[in-house]
Structure 1
């Protein structure tokens, strides 16, 4: 018997940093996924991935591993899941991943959600998506120290998600038809460091920064209306405005700024940082010219074409 589970990555459209201070955010699942194949092993648990070029033997009781090849990377999430949720009988997990690590596309959340779904199916446990999302958030909290429920929620349920000021999460009935391009650098952003940097700036200049945070929240609510009305060029315009405010918060870099303007020059209707900044990724909205934008961003950096996906986690058994 083999279990296969797959979960999507995500990207944030609006609300970075402002969401920390109670403002709304919009995020969506993308058509790039993490897939886990799980089956019984003979004597020791194994976690491997050809896509990431590693293999390790796992001690799920002690939360330790013996690396056979490659770099450990995302293995800490797997160990946490198996330590908390498994009976420690030997299993083999094989990860396929078309989400670039460190690109701001929620690879850890996708891997966590897919692994939990595969494990619970293997154990013959009854579960639903709400339970998976809750457990996945707990795992990410344990590993990272602090984690937003947005990533794991989006990866579990799919679609476009609106997080309100009172932290209620709702799914858009409509879906964006526009294509998007994610551009990412080799320099990864550090979310914790960037959040602290913005907090420090806010504490030093509250009369200036507080209105910026509020305005980002207003842009997010305007973007919500644009999505509902399918005003995709308006969405790009709002992304450009949002980018200017993120720049004023000091989370931009020369590499990210170059990609933002390259995307616009190549025909994107709008482009901005996605995620915490300080490295990582930008997202470009491309109702037209997706190929041109992709080519422009790929010349110096890395880029992938994405669309938003309504499909969240799924799991199946193969005999």
Structure 2
């Protein structure tokens, strides 16, 4: 088989936050996330002369590039592919450090994470596309990859573009299933990047970083509803950040209560106690409502409130997912309950149930 006929295809799942939003942005604070069975798929095929980056979603903006030595030179500068380009840059820098020869290739991206008509569900498409690109190029260049290295390379690439956030969505996309995630010290990472090579950096223990796989109780069902309006996570996180400086004492209280709530919830997963998990989901919802009031940011919109109230009538524990302000709400409900009743209730108030399931990553 000739080298340039060689086709590599990988996929990375989207994510949803279950609990611990906003607090997880602070170093060492925990959150729980799930990976979902909607994916970004990246294929790489070697080429001889020039390379291309093509997305099913952004056909009019596909990019052509050529090699000048080890550098990629682009034909057009204006593109929506910042995360992909950052992932390529990082992975190629790592490949060069371990002595791999740079090649040309065609990279193709296809995403189920936003609906065909361009609706954004808030499932972490920028994280999934970053992870899938890094993963695909690591295979293409034959780089030694573990989940820990994949997380670290993808986290650096994502942070270079977004500049804030906890990177929990990267962790969900790399590890899959249900995870408990503690965010690492981003200030340390900034300094460490000047002190270590990439090869050294991805082998180091990153301060405060922790990823633990969780197994939910067998009676637990996760149901997801979408409000029809997307939210910008980075803007919401920035807005809460601005306000927290003014009301530092209340914010510190929110942080410590969120940490304790998540610790109890993680224990609920470890002991398979659905009652404990539901109780803490409801408590986490209250904490986020109080953070919203404290910051003058509408985390739980009126429609998200209705989504939660409809679920609570059926004894489901419900809250906003992620930054709130739109996007999705989640419900943890006993699978003996007639879920159809919940879905019908949502449809009446204009909430779209998303037919998504938790995805476990094998390799």
Could you say which TM-score interval applies, normalised by the shorter chain? 0.7 to 0.9
Other-structure match for 1:4: 9
- 1:298 deviates by 4.5
Other-structure match for 2:308: 260
TM, length-normalised to structure 1: 0.82
Q: Which of 105, 112, 130 is residue 130 of structure 2 equivalent to?
A: 112
- 1:99 deviates by 5.6
Q: Deviations over 1:209-249 (max 9, x none)?
A: 43233222221111111111222243223212211221122
Indicate the SS of the match to 2:329: strand
- 1:156 deviates by 1.1
Q: Deviations over 1:288-308 (max 9, x none)?
A: 344433444355133313333
Q: Which of 158, 164, 169 is residue 176 of structure 2 equivalent to?
A: 158
Other-structure match for 2:341: 292
Contact 1:36 1:95 in 2 (8 A): yes
2:159 paired with 1:141: yes
**Aligned counterparts, 1:11-30, within 5 A:** 11-21=16-26, 22-30=28-36
Q: Deviations over 1:261-299 (max 9, x none)?
A: 23334x361111111122222111132344433444355
- 1:35 deviates by 1.9
Indicate the SS of the match to 1:90: strand
Higher mean alpha-carbon deviation, 10-19 vs 255-264, is at: 255-264
What runs of 5+ residues in structure 2 fail to find an aligned partner? 1-5, 67-71, 93-101, 184-206, 293-298
Other-structure match for 1:283: 330
Equivalents in 2 of 1:97, 1:268: separation in Å? 31
Q: Which of 67, 76, 90 is residue 105 of structure 2 equivalent to?
A: 90
Other-structure match for 1:317: none
Contact 2:165 2:234 in 1 (8 A): no
Contact 1:174 1:228 in 2 (8 A): yes
Higher mean alpha-carbon deviation, 159-168 vs 207-216, is at: 159-168
**Aligned counterparts, 1:202-213, within 5 A:** 202-213=244-255
Equivalents in 2 of 1:281, 1:65: separation in Å? 35
Equivalents in 1 of 2:273, 2:233: separation in Å? 31
Contact 2:113 2:125 in 1 (8 A): no
Contact 1:38 1:93 in 2 (8 A): yes
Contact 1:8 1:155 in 2 (8 A): yes
Contact 1:19 1:25 in 2 (8 A): yes
Q: Deviations over 1:19-61 (max 9, x none)?
A: 23453222222232222222234754333444x3635133372
Equivalents in 1 of 2:109, 2:245: separation in Å? 46
Q: Which of 33, 38, 45 is residue 44 of structure 2 equivalent to?
A: 38
Residues 80, 138 of structure 1: CA spacing in aligned structure 2 closer, same or farther, 3 A cutoff? same
Residues 126, 35 of structure 1: CA spacing in aligned structure 2 closer, same or farther, 3 A cutoff? same
Indicate the SS of the match to 1:222: helix
Residues 106, 94 of structure 1: CA spacing in aligned structure 2 closer, same or farther, 3 A cutoff? closer
- 1:142 deviates by 1.3
Contact 1:268 1:285 in 2 (8 A): no
Other-structure match for 1:311: 361
Q: More relative contact order in 1 or in 2 (CA 8 Å, sep 6+)?
A: 1
Other-structure match for 1:197: 239
Indicate the SS of the match to 1:218: helix
Q: Which of 232, 235, 260 is residue 274 of structure 2 equivalent to?
A: 232
CA RMSD of aligned residues (A): 2.9
Indicate the SS of the match to 1:260: helix
Q: How many residues align?
A: 306
Other-structure match for 2:319: 272
Q: Deviations over 1:163-190 (max 9, x none)?
A: 3587341323534542212222343222
